[in-house]
Chains A and B, each alone.
Chain A
Amino acid sequence: MATGYPTDDGALEAPAPERLVWMYTQMYRIREFEERVKSTFTAHPGVIRGHTHLADGAEGSIVGSIAALAPGDQILTSYRCHGYPIALGTDTKAMMAEIYGRSTGLCGGLGGSMHLFDPARGFLGGSGIVAQHLPHAAGAAWAAQIRGAGQAVVCFFGDGASKQGAFHESLNIASLWKLPVVYVMENNHYQASTRSDQEDANAAAGEPLAVKATAYSMVGITVDGTDPVAVHATVAAALARARAGEGPTLVESLVYRLSAHGNLIAPPGVPLHYPEHEAVAIFGNQAEYEAALRGDPVPRFRHRLVTDGVLDALDADALEATVREEIDEAERFALESPLPAPDSGLAYVYA
């Protein structure tokens, strides 16, 4: 489906009604796409092996951030990377085909779920190594600073990445050199199977993780990542500072990952699926998880737009139906696409 250009030149004013509808549409597209990835494990066993990681619950953070970009900006992400290119306008057929390992995939089947790339739209890719891309973002921002055209970089990662040395090295350099970069930490409170307060000294002390910014003399802000409008305002302001030469910002965007860290890892032949969320499976905290489900940002944002008179309920139903058709088509295209020729795996080792 047509998505329109995803950016609004970093406007700081509140999004116009059509922009809010655009945001909801992208959130719904991301959710439907990832639900389809998830259901593929049961509907088409064996089509996806290996690793997938879903961002359900983070759609508001993703879309609010992407909506603040301007043409020529770049983004980098962790392996939980399906949502960003969807909001940037990447073809969902090519994305699903990539996740299914097909020759028609976005990367010809060489990347997969964790390694989606669309540099033509400014997406420099998803990395499977936690925090590996944080210094890449500093380098891309340095190139933007040298170009001097007011472009900036947004780097997305999880709370777990803030425990890596690359986080420290990157934020230090970014602040030292006043690089035009915004580091958006989507804090979903779990690092695979452990809670943040078991892994993070700030979390254990009851502090927001945004306090880490203080160590780098940069602005640190915590925002409700389930609210795309709040995220948009925060990231747009951070981008404005970045473009003005005032340096980077650490945005801690509070989200709740509604699915488990990733699909089950199992020996060949054993069907894969998504296990229960760690809150339930490991910590037995059914109440926490159910509260998170009740706070699901996608239906919540729809309800808000309908209540505020921005979006008619029937129009919402219609746009959702259109999105489901898009995702049906993406799944069909991916299933019908051929697997790559065996020798195509030898391509692209060297440029």
Chain B
Amino acid sequence: MVRTTYAATVAATLAAAMRADERVVVFGEDVALGGPYLTTKGLAEAFGTARVVNTPISEAAICGAAIGAAQSGLRPVVEIMFVDFIGLALDQLVNGAAKAHFMSGGQLRVPMVLRTQGGAGQRGGAQHSQSLESWLVHVPGLKVVMPSSAREVAALLPSAIADDSPVVVVESKTLYFRHEDLPDEGVAPEPLGTARVLRQGRDVTIVATSRMVHEALEAARQLAMRGIDAEVIDPRTLVPLDLATIAASVVRTGRLVVAHEAVCHGGVGAEIAAQVQAACFYDLDAPVVRVGAPFTPVPLSPMLEDAYLPGTAEILDAVDAALD
């Protein structure tokens, strides 16, 4: 096994993609310096600053240039340093990248990856801590990936880069420096749109994304001590969503908890709950329970932020509600 981190795996996976395909280029703010979380560390040294390019603080131009470059033969992997900044690039992403293939009747392709990261818990305040993936999930034409570990980065980022559609990869700043052992032989790429069952169980299904996957696994461990057998599923990609794997689990357990760090209101959990109830209504023994943050901006003060963040305790409460 190789001991590594999520952030180092991002850098290593990008390096492998750049070695394998000279069309892969990386640009964004500070990427040639490694970025604030070191997710592009070493790339400029290995591949030169013609392929690993620092940009001005111009999120619309970063995303827009990726679109033009992708339509012209490159496979850009661009970085928006915090998902909170994506509003500045959203027109490019939503009205440009997501629609070019469609509006052109299939003539254009936009094989770009937009990497960004979100999540609270680092005392970043309301504008550096959000989980905004539901904005992106709502847009036809975008694929949305949320790796929950170094392993998932290694499995999914190559598939995102190989995809001919625009893919947004939302990483987790909280998970970046978490240690993890990966197999010596590496992790083979896995297709987007496939969920992963991380723990099998009979009594309740917990679907969790990103950081909440680890909270769900901890909740499942504690539930096991109480004799409750929870199944934990990481959808890994929110678009396309592997409903089949989730529904097959719910058919067996009859109960579903959906957990994400984003605010519940209008969140991805609502979409998953709606799809599951439509697919498995007569197999459900209880209403679907959602776990997410309260409907407020992320507060700064440690006391307030800790209270804001959903975690294992909230998942346990939700499971109790689902089993009630």
**CB-based contact A106/B105 at 8 Å:** yes
Are B103's CB and A110's CB within 8 A?
A: yes
Q: Is the CB of A135 within 8 A of B107?
A: no
In the complex the two chains form, is B65's CB within 8 Å of A118's CB?
no
Check B264 for interface membership: any CB of A closer than 8 A.
no
Q: How far is the CB of A92 from chain B (nearest CB, A)?
A: 17
Q: How many residues on the B side are at the interface (Cβ–Cβ under 8 A)?
A: 42
The segment from B53-61, B126-134, B283-291 that touches chain A is: B53-61
Q: Are A143 and B56 in contact (CB under 8 A)?
A: no
Chain B residues positioned under 8 Å from A115 (CB to CB):
103-104
Whether a CB of chain A sits under 8 angstroms from the CB of B72 is yes
Across the interface, which residues of B come within 8 angstroms of A142, CB to CB?
A: 65, 68-69, 74
Complex CA–CA separation, A144 to B100 (angstroms): 20
Q: Which of A167-175, A193-201, A296-304, A305-313 makes up part of the contact surface?
A: A167-175
- Cβ–Cβ contact B72 & A143, under 8 A: yes
> Given contacts A136-B71, A142-B68, A142-B69, is CB(A111)–CB(B140) below 8 Å?
no
Contacts of B63 in A (CB 8 A): 135
A310 vs B239: C-alpha distance when bound (angstroms):
60
Q: Are B164 and A135 in contact (CB under 8 A)?
A: no
Task: Count residues of chain A with CB under 8 A from any CB of chain B.
Answer: 47
Closest partner residue, chain A, to B100 (CB atom): A125
Contacts of A119 on B, CB cut-off 8 Å?
A: 71, 104, 107-108
Q: Known contacts A107-B104, A351-B164: does B61 contact A166 (CB below 8 Å)? A: yes
- How distant is the Cα of A41 from the Cα of B259 in the complex, in angstroms? 53
- The reply to whether the CB of B73 lies closer than 8 angstroms to some CB of chain A is yes
**CA gap between A215 and B163 in the complex, in Å:** 38
| Other-chain residue from A111, A127, A138 in contact with B105 (beta carbon distance below 8 A) | A111
A170 close to B61 (CB less than 8 A): yes
Any chain B CB within 8 A of the CB of A2?
no
Proximity bits, A50-80, B CB within 8 Å = 1, else 0: 0000000000000000000000001010000
Tell me if B68 and A110 are in contact (CB < 8 A): no
B311 at the interface (CB under 8 A from A): no
Q: Is the pair B105, A135 in contact by a Cβ cutoff of 8 Å?
A: no
When distances are taken between beta carbons in the complex, the residues of chain A under 8 Å from B140 are 349
Q: How far is the CA of A111 from the CA of B61 in the complex (A)?
A: 24
Q: Residues 222-241 of chain A: 1 if any B CB is under 8 Å from the residue's CB, otherwise 0?
A: 00000000000000000000
Q: Quick check: is B255 within 8 A (CB to CB) of the other chain? A: no
Alpha-carbon separation in the docked complex, A318 to B170 (Å)? 61
Task: Check: B268 CB closer than 8 A to any chain A CB.
Answer: no
Q: Determine if B106 is an interface residue (Cβ-Cβ < 8 Å).
A: yes
Q: Mark B93-113, 1 if CB is under 8 A from A, else 0.
A: 001100011111111111100
Q: How far is the CA of A141 from the CA of B72 in the complex (A)?
A: 9
* A residues whose Cβ falls under 8 Å from a Cβ of B: 74, 76, 105-111, 115, 117-120, 124-125, 127-129, 132-144, 146-147, 153, 165-166, 169-170, 172-173, 176, 347-351
Could you list 6 examples of A-B contacts with CB < 8 Å?
A111-B105, A133-B68, A138-B65, A138-B68, A144-B72, A170-B64
Q: Beyond the given A125-B100, A138-B61, A172-B61, could you list 10 further A-B residue pairs with CB under 8 A, ordered by the A residue number?
A: A106-B105, A119-B104, A119-B107, A124-B68, A124-B108, A135-B65, A138-B65, A170-B64, A173-B61, A348-B102
